């Protein structure tokens, strides 16, 4: 199975992770914004090139999972790293409040239906991790999930971590490369971004009163992220805690990890056997003779 490329933001696989130790800002020695944009463009170009081979190779799929607090810029990051790719080779799904149909199934059902097929890059903007994040912060949501009466409220979160780990190991074993990104924005940076949404008319559409309500549960969310990442970061389905206060740096980090991951897969265009090559040559000669 695929194993995660090294990164200073790779969440350990041994369960030792503390959200308070994860930086929200880039190191002091990073290049300026203009240089980071140049490097991002280079990585995006490389991703585009590799995506073409990836699609033709048709042996793997890639699943990118993005989680983060409101205003962590998940949408913008997805757009930035895949802007040069072939839209036909990507699929993006956002998961909001579950529908009645989705609540009639287990918590992995709605995302399992959206897993990418071989040769494609799938992106989850939020995911099944909402079930151990927002639902854990607001456990009364479990009341609407039609769970069996014998579900143990004391072990439900540990049980869900087990389900997630087994699910990700299963799809990884069958060719899906799983990369998970926690876009780690600080509380102060979120405040500034919320103010910008309120003060700039062009950003009003981004603002939701519900975002402010959830901001009041900041510490509870950080605890939920800490436990979820520690419980589910594995070599075949790694978590990366990406500093998200600087958008340029955040996007560059994500693009670099994706590019290096694709490079590690030893991709190549399918080879045609001798019989088929001879047939192609015959057709080529007939076309030339027309």
Q: Are 86 and 141 in contact (CB under 8 A)?
A: no
Give the separation between CA 153 and CA 156, rounded to whole angstroms: 5
pLDDT in tens, 258-278: 999 999 998 999 988 999 999
Look up residue 97 and give its DSSP letter: S
pLDDT, residue 5, reads 77
Give the separation between CA 149 and CA 77, rounded to whole angstroms: 41
Distance spanning both ends of the chain, measured CA to CA? 50
Q: Where do we find the tokens 């140049």?
A: 38
pLDDT, residue 206, reads 81
β-pairing, 90-94 vs 61-68, is unpaired
By CB neighbour count within 10 A (0-12 exposed, 13-18 middle, 19+ buried), where does 141 fall? middle
In the three-class reduction of DSSP (H, G, I as helix; E, B as strand; rest coil), residue 183 is classed as strand
Q: Are 251 and 16 in contact (CB under 8 A)?
A: no
Is 10 a domain residue? no
Is 8 a domain residue? no
Is 2 a domain residue? no
pLDDT, residue 207, reads 81
Is 274 a domain residue? yes
pLDDT, residue 204, reads 85
Give the C-alpha distances (Å, rounded to integers) separating 86 from 43, 69, 78, 82, 222: 15, 29, 14, 8, 35
Give the separation between CA 131 and CA 187, rounded to whole angstroms: 22
- Give the phi and the psi of residue 193 in degrees, each rounded to 5: -70, -35
Q: Tens of pLDDT along the chain (290 residues)?
A: 777 777 899 999 998 999 999 999 999 999 999 999 999 999 999 999 999 999 999 999 999 999 999 999 999 999 999 987 788 889 999 999 999 999 999 999 999 999 999 999 999 999 999 999 999 999 999 999 999 989 988 899 999 999 999 999 999 999 999 999 999 999 999 999 999 999 888 888 888 888 899 999 999 999 999 999 999 999 999 999 999 999 999 999 999 999 999 999 989 999 889 999 999 999 999 999 99
Give the separation between CA 231 and CA 212, rounded to whole angstroms: 28
pLDDT, residue 229, reads 98
Give the separation between CA 283 and CA 86, rounded to whole angstroms: 29
pLDDT, residue 208, reads 84
pLDDT, residue 166, reads 98
For Cα atoms 78, 35, 240, give the angle at the middle one, nearest 5 degrees: 40
pLDDT, residue 141, reads 95
Q: Are 211 and 70 in contact (CB under 8 A)?
A: yes
CATH of the domain at 240: 3.40.50.300
Count of alpha carbons within 13 Å of 223, Cβ hemisphere only? 9
Neighbours of 257 (CB within 10 A): 24
Is 173 a domain residue? yes
Quote the tokens at residue 53.
Answer: 């081979």
In the three-class reduction of DSSP (H, G, I as helix; E, B as strand; rest coil), residue 17 is classed as coil
Report the domain count for the chain: 1
Domain span at residue 220 reads: 19-289
pLDDT, residue 205, reads 83
Is 233 a domain residue? yes
The arrangement of strands across the sheet holding 239-243 comes to 90-94, 121-125, 61-68, 176-184, 239-243
pLDDT, residue 2, reads 74
Quote the tokens at residue 164.
Answer: 């997630």
pLDDT, residue 144, reads 93
In the three-class reduction of DSSP (H, G, I as helix; E, B as strand; rest coil), residue 117 is classed as coil
Is 14 a domain residue? no
| H or E element in which residue 41 lies | helix 33-57
Is 12 a domain residue? no
């Amino acid at each position: 199975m695929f194993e995660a490329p090294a990164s200073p933001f790779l969440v350990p696989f041994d369960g030792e992770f503390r959200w308070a130790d994860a930086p929200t800002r880039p190191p002091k020695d990073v290049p300026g914004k203009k240089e980071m944009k140049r490097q991002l463009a280079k990585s995006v170009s490389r991703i585009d090139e590799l995506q073409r081979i990836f699609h033709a190779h048709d042996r793997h799929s890639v699943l990118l999972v993005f989680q983060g607090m409101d205003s962590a810029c998940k949408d913008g990051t997805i757009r930035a790293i895949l802007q040069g790719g072939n839209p036909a080779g990507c699929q993006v799904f956002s998961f909001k409040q579950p529908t009645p149909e989705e609540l009639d199934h287990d918590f992995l059902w709605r995302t399992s239906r959206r897993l990418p097929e071989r040769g494609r890059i799938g992106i989850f903007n939020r995911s099944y991790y909402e079930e151990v994040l927002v639902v854990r912060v607001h456990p009364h949501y479990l009341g609407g999930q039609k769970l069996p009466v014998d579900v143990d409220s004391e072990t439900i979160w540990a049980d869900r971590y087990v389900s997630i780990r087994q699910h990700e190991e299963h799809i990884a074993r069958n060719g899906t490369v799983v990369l998970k990104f926690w876009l780690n924005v600080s509380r102060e940076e979120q405040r500034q971004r919320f103010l910008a949404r309120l003060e700039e008319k062009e950003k009003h559409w981004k603002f939701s009163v519900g975002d402010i309500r959830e901001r009041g549960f900041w510490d509870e969310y950080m605890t939920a992220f800490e436990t979820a990442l520690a419980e589910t970061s594995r070599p075949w389905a790694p978590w990366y805690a990406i500093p998200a206060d600087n958008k340029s740096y955040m996007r560059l980090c994500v693009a670099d990890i994706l590019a290096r991951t694709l490079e590690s897969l030893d991709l190549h265009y399918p080879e045609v056997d001798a019989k088929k090559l001879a047939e192609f040559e015959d057709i080529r000669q007939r076309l030339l003779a027309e």
